[in-house]
Amino acid sequence: MHAITPPEYAPTHKYCPRCETRKPLAEFPTSKRVSDGHSSWCRPCHREASRFYRARRKSRAKYDEVRSCYEAMHTHDRNDMFAEI
């Protein structure tokens, strides 16, 4: 069970390892997974990482779409080629 920190001893700031700065707790989103109740990255760092992740996933999805069309085309051509034999 986690010990409850009295309000007078509760931390008011937290260090963000991504941007390497110390910021007020209000700058950190809440998270139930962390013992202090706040995420390890600040909101601006979270936002930047999320944008990068979404952009990377979007480009990967486009690549997968083109690849599947290409593979489907070649499968069809291959079947036609073997049908002639």
- Between these two residues, 12 and 80, which has the higher pLDDT value? 12
Claim: this prediction has a pTM higher than 0.75: no
pLDDT in tens, 7-49: 666 688 999 999 999 999 999 999 999 888 999 999 999 999 9
Separation between Cα atoms, residue 31 and residue 38, nearest integer Å: 5
Separation between Cα atoms, residue 28 and residue 45, nearest integer Å: 10
Residues 6+ apart with CB under 8 A from 30: 37, 38, 39
Beta-carbon count within 10 A of 41 CB: 20
**58 by DSSP, 3-state: which?**
helix
Give pLDDT, residue 64: 76
Tokens representing residue 34 in the block: 């962390």
pLDDT band at 3 (very low <50, low <70, confident <90, very high): low
